[in-house]
Structure 1
Amino acid sequence: MKLDFYYHNPTKIYFGKTALEHLPAELANYGDTVLLVYGKGSVKKSGLYDEITAVLQKAGKTVVELSGIKSNPTYTQMLEGARLVREHQVHLILAVGGGSVIDCAKGISLSAYCKGDPWERYWVNFEDVDNEIVPVGAVLTMAGTGSEMNGGSVITNEEKMLKNGRVYPPEVYPKFSILNPEYTYTVPKYQMVSGIFDTMSHLMEQYFSGTDDNTTDYLIEGVMRSLIHSARIALKNPEDYEARSNIMWCAAIGLNTVTGLAKEQDWEVHMIEHQLGAYTDCAHGAGLAAISIPYYKYISPYGLDKFVRFANNVWEIPTDTMTKEDAANAGIEKLTAFIEELGLPQTLRELGATEAMLPLIANSTVQGGGYKHMTADDILNVLKACY
């Protein structure tokens, strides 16, 4: 491992069927007023909303609600949450839902007392957060983003047609997260598989970089193998507890920064998808699936050894008698087959993108990359291959 690193993850994880039993003890650590943030109503249909509000009521909390958070949370929604925090002097923001809800809650937490425009200061100029941060707790209902155990917050500014993400320092991480795999059973199949591929993409973004012998790469390979194995079981039986628990933990590990330690990292697939999402409002994991294969075919010549290793160690392809190019392509073909197995889209047309959008997406995408630095022209080439 060649790169120095600092690691601190302050999030407490309560995992398993009894995880919610720890919520009362956590609530006791905060003041009287809680902002309850959730999505479009699935938590009410599942009965989880009633369970949580009963716990809040028993704990004597005053509850303020912000509902209807979109799958791509908007800056407008985030600002409304910030207004509620100030108006009601909220002591804890409790996010109940998937990564979008948790991302929005974190955005609210650091924006409520921001001096100036939070978007420009924190999501565009990446300034240090110099104001009070309201604590966040989470009850996770969809596995995929890893937002339950990190400082990431991806917000869509609809007015500017920008979907920007930033990883904030540990002060912004959820103070605690409750992870009961049973809460993910009610998620529709499309969202389940989108979350699975989001996790896979997080792992690949960190994996496809560097040439050193890095312990982190071995960890990533193991998590990818576990994810693929459990995904196949969950596709056949969505209520297989062991499979869903493995998927949920893979998602948390995949972006709690452990699998990025001492890694250069890539993240260009995510940067492209963010702008695709700004224009189409597509499911994040589905967008990643459509972009990944053309992108990895585009960059694999620049990082052949890692792609050969991916084929061998993740997909168990015997590569000894193959050329590096053939081995790399064989691994990418296995990834293609996995996307097909999940039933995810493989073209941008399926996600609502038009040909006219492609240069707009390319020109507004944050440029970067791992084995190859991507220019706007490179990104447009990938988008055309995805279309």
Structure 2
Amino acid sequence: MINFEFYNPARIIFGKDTESQAGKQISKFGKRVLLHYGGGSVKANGVYDKVVKSLKEEGLFFVELSGVVPNPRLSLVREGIELCKKNNLDFVLAVGGGSVIDSAKAIAAGVRYSGDVWELYMDNSKLAGLTEALPVGVVLTIPAAGSESSTASVITNEEGWLKRAINTEVVIPKFAVLNPESSYTLPAYQTACGASDIFAHLMERYFTQEPNVDFTDRLIEANMRTILNNAPLALKNPNDYNVRAEIMWAGAVAHNNLLNTGRIGDWGSHDIEHEISGAYDIAHGAGLSIVFPAWMKYVYKQNVDKFIQFAMRVFNVDFSFDDKEKIVFEMIERLEAWYVRMGLPIRLSDVNIGSERIREMADKCMVGRTHVGNFQKLKADDIYEIYKLAL
């Protein structure tokens, strides 16, 4: 176990009807708010009306910026930055899922950054000069990205369709309202993609080369099993509060950095997937369900015992230890079967993507980087082979 610091100041406000507390929480940090959201879903499910009511009750001034799409766009981020500066806004409230939250974080960072915000995403060393951002709050409607209490933000630049991330404590939300009821109306595919994203965050942390991390291994395994068990139930009974609550809380804990402690995660699969969703604009969770099995097939020999542990503890594979590869590939089959049960793709061909651009995506993945991943440090040729395994 390596040395670590753990810090997460995000206040979690969890439960029924908690949207009504948004205005009160914001008033602790600011008075002039950018209300940031996506399309019509937050209005259709009533969350928008509850949030606006809470803002008015606190006497807060607010300006709205809607239009966030999956794989949130840099152009809208720049629009939000200008709105904040023009209206002297001092708080950004994200109402929605991970894309809205990531966009809000980028706006909050961009307002305080002296250069163009995209510089931070292309060159993470510049984050050292970002000492503050506008405070951000969240009303979560889609459990998936875990961005509601994380250091991360991922944005797509339409010029070149590069998808890149930042990680910095200054964009950790000040609070996050989590009402499982707000996820009742999610389409089944969006629920499935969200579960895939949560599970991927757990696997990225789990597959480490750092020894003696049994405590966090077991925390991650418990979270994984929670998602494996509850996500299919959410598809069968969308209005089951208890099921939705398990998923929503598991998603937040999966990505608030608690499960990073003492270990170095991988994150190669996320970088590899970002090129797929950046080029083809597919759902991030769907891209992850395609990439992860292929990544596993390519890297498992780097530490086969970690994969054996994962197979036994998470997927209950109980085969003879004499054939380790059989255990690993049985686990991969069970993971793929879970994805399929959830209605998710497990091959590029499942989403009508062929081999035409996989070399291009592998090369683009390396732009601004020396490698991706930590379990095995991957270069462009390695990424190309993983894409081939995903066909």
TM-superposition CA deviations, 1:213-272 (whole Å, max 9, x none): 211111111110111111122121111111111111111111110111111211111001
How far is 1:370 from its partner? 3.2
Partner SS for 2:138: strand
- Aligned residues with identical type, % of pairs: 39
1:134 aligns with 2:134: yes
TM-superposition CA deviations, 1:110-146 (whole Å, max 9, x none): 1013212221244424312436411100000000100
1:241 aligns with 2:241: yes
Partner SS for 2:139: strand
Describe how 1:251-270 pairs up with structure 2 within 5 A: 251-270=251-270
* 2:32 corresponds to: 33
* 1:230 corresponds to: 230
* 1:10 corresponds to: 9
* Structure 2: gaps of 5 or more residues: none
Indicate conservation of the 8 Å contact 1:35/1:90, yes or no. Answer: yes
In 1, the alpha carbon distance for the partners of 2:100 and 2:16 equals: 22
* Structure 1: gaps of 5 or more residues: none
Indicate conservation of the 8 Å contact 1:156/1:278, yes or no. Answer: yes
In 2, the alpha carbon distance for the partners of 1:259 and 1:201 equals: 13
Indicate conservation of the 8 Å contact 1:72/1:281, yes or no. Answer: yes
How far is 1:349 from its partner? 3.2
TM-superposition CA deviations, 1:270-303 (whole Å, max 9, x none): 0011111110111000000011111101111212
Indicate conservation of the 8 Å contact 1:110/1:133, yes or no. Answer: yes
How far is 1:338 from its partner? 0.7
TM-superposition CA deviations, 1:21-61 (whole Å, max 9, x none): 43243132133211000001111111211111111112111
* 2:98 corresponds to: 99
How far is 1:151 from its partner? 1.4
How far is 1:354 from its partner? 4.0
After alignment, is 177-186 or 350-359 more displaced? Answer: 350-359
Describe how 1:189-204 pairs up with structure 2 within 5 A: 189-204=188-203
RMSD over aligned CA atoms reads: 1.5
* 1:368 corresponds to: 372
1:386 aligns with 2:390: yes
In 2, the alpha carbon distance for the partners of 1:77 and 1:243 equals: 34
The count of residues paired between Structure 1 and Structure 2 equals 385
Indicate conservation of the 8 Å contact 1:308/1:319, yes or no. Answer: no
* 1:337 corresponds to: 337
The amino acid that maps onto 1:50 is: D
Indicate conservation of the 8 Å contact 2:307/2:328, yes or no. Answer: yes
**CA distance 1:132–1:373, change in 2 (3 Å):** closer
* TM-score in terms of structure 2 length: 0.95
* TM-score in terms of structure 1 length: 0.96
* 1:50 corresponds to: 49
In 2, the alpha carbon distance for the partners of 1:45 and 1:236 equals: 22
The amino acid that maps onto 1:196 is: A
In 1, the alpha carbon distance for the partners of 2:141 and 2:235 equals: 18
Partner SS for 1:6: coil
